[in-house]
A and B are shown apart, each in its own frame.
Chain A
Amino acid sequence: MRLAVIGAGAVGSSVVELASDHGHSVTAFADSSSAVIDSAGIDAAEALDRKRIDGVVGSGTPEDALSAEYDVLVEATPTTLGDAEPGFSHVQAALERDRHAVLANKGPVAERYADVRALERESEGSVLFEATVGGAMPILSTIDDFDPSHITAVRGVLNGTANFILSRMATEGLDYEHVLAEAQDLGVAEADPTFDVDGTDAALKGVIIANVLSDDGTEYTLEDAEVEGIQEISGSALELARADGRTVRLIAEVVEGSVRVGPRLVPDNAPLAVSGTRNIAQLETEHAGQLNISGRGAGGPETASAVLADIGRL
């Protein structure tokens, strides 16, 4: 397949780097101000070097990338709320040209799911977005395999940064501010960790799952989610939980059309009590009991693997 990769951050760059390993060529690659286009396949190493050294991927414009020859558009620009731009327009451009769109960007499928699906219906192209929920973990494709109608609930730890903070607080007896600063030093938390610790990121993933599970056409957006973060979790609360064989995890729960994210008490030895940056999703299936999928929920190469797996499924 010929790929147009839009976004040259951790995810987009990894897709470009790993594409040839998976038998694909990249014919267009853009960041916010530049692009490199070659219908015979760009020189990935050169473009990534140029991004690293000069801060641009090539001498073209991002618009050139959108109108280039490609089979699949990979959307890896920043996740935005509300109108989900610029990601939404990129997906639209691809579908209107009867091309496929594979998303790492959560915005379009969390905030404008019905619009995306409507565009897809009018197009020869398809939309896949495994990478938007749980990085490398095959959560959405497992739901798809089972058929959404056989999944009654999904619960999970879907944000590695929040999980790292909570598990460090619990095991080391340190307070929130201290562990957050440490996580930033380690690169586990970003300079602005707001969406990770206030539950927004996990909620977007929950909303995407709710959209996939929705069997009556109901559309979910962030506004439909009940969200609470971990900023006010105190050491004493974790201590009380521990004395009772429990711990606290930021859990996203999708049950019967409701999406809730918040700190929850879970037994210390429960599958959901993963530690560090690990993620887990627990699917409640109608006939096969509980199914746990755990793994790395984020990271450039991890997320790129999910993107490439989607491309393989097209």
Chain B
Amino acid sequence: MSDSTDEVRSYTVRLELVDEPGELLRALEPIANNGGNLLSIFHERGNVTPRGHIPVEVDLEATPERFDDIVDALRDAGINVIQAGAEQYSEALTIILTGHLVNTDLSDTLSRIHESTDATVTDLSLSAPEGTDDASSARIRLATEEGAVTETMSAIRTVAGDKDLRVIEPLAAGGEA
């Protein structure tokens, strides 16, 4: 960390936007309003997250202090900030969920995991050999902040517990698996 807090630096922010008109504009406002200088916007149309959101990458310039305000303002505006500056989502985590996944609303399960952990689902495979009414399994890969794996796992256990789903955890959260 640098201690010169007034120096302007460039940052990358990854956002996930709901696919609705006006969303992008709404996301850019907090940046301008808090003294950020927009450099580029990379709108990954066609690349949709498992939950139907659109990933957007924004490059901007700001002082570290203002940058923090920008991220806070974005989050206050209800915008999903996936990655901001140095705060990388660098730990991948794979779990398997089993149980009545479909009947207990899989997409709701995923968004609850996302909301309570700040981790993003980067990959999902579902196997429902007996049809959707029966027990099925899903392999889910998540990206989570460095050092937040233990926290993420305990949040996942809570969500799974509420829905009577079983979690097959990776070995040693944060470890070799």
Chain A interface (Cβ < 8 Å from any Cβ of B): 153, 155, 228, 232-237, 239-241, 243-244, 246, 248-249, 251, 253, 255, 262-267, 270, 272
User: In the bound complex, do residue A267 and residue B98 qualify as a contact, i.e. CB atoms below 8 Å apart?
Assistant: no
Interface of B is mostly: strand
Interface size, chain B (Cβ < 8 Å):
21
User: In the bound complex, do residue A155 and residue B169 qualify as a contact, i.e. CB atoms below 8 Å apart?
Assistant: no
Given contacts A232-B166, A246-B177, A264-B177, contact A253 B172 (CB under 8 A): yes
Assess whether B135 is interfacial by the CB under 8 Å rule. yes
Q: What are 22 inter-chain pairs, A to B, with CB distance below 8 A?
A: A233-B168, A236-B127, A236-B137, A237-B96, A239-B127, A239-B137, A240-B127, A240-B137, A241-B96, A241-B168, A243-B139, A244-B125, A253-B171, A264-B170, A264-B171, A264-B177, A265-B95, A265-B96, A265-B170, A266-B170, A266-B171, A270-B171
User: In the bound complex, do residue B177 and residue A267 qualify as a contact, i.e. CB atoms below 8 Å apart?
Assistant: yes
Extra pairs beyond A240-B125, A267-B176 (19, CB < 8 Å)? A228-B166, A232-B166, A233-B98, A233-B168, A234-B135, A236-B98, A236-B129, A239-B127, A239-B137, A240-B127, A240-B138, A244-B125, A246-B177, A251-B171, A264-B170, A265-B171, A265-B177, A266-B170, A267-B177
Distance in angstroms from A209 CB to nearest chain B CB is: 15
Which chain A positions have C-beta within 8 A of B98?
232-234, 236-237
Distance in angstroms from A256 CB to nearest chain B CB is: 11
Closest 5 CB pairs of A and B: A240-B139, A236-B127, A237-B137, A236-B137, A264-B171
Q: Mark contacts of B154-166 with chain A using CB atoms, 8 A cut-off: 1 yes-contact digit, 0 otherwise.
A: 0000000000001
User: In the bound complex, do residue A237 and residue B172 qualify as a contact, i.e. CB atoms below 8 Å apart?
Assistant: no
Q: How many A-B residue pairs have CB under 8 A?
A: 73
Which chain A positions have C-beta within 8 A of B80?
none
Assess whether B144 is interfacial by the CB under 8 Å rule. no
| CA A237 to CA B140, docked complex, whole Å | 11
Q: Mark contacts of B111-148 with chain A using CB atoms, 8 A cut-off: 1 yes-contact digit, 0 otherwise.
A: 00000000000000101110000011111000000000
Q: Mark contacts of B20-55 with chain A using CB atoms, 8 A cut-off: 1 yes-contact digit, 0 otherwise.
A: 000000000000000000000000000000000000
| CA A239 to CA B137, docked complex, whole Å | 9
| CA A234 to CA B170, docked complex, whole Å | 17
| CA A153 to CA B174, docked complex, whole Å | 14
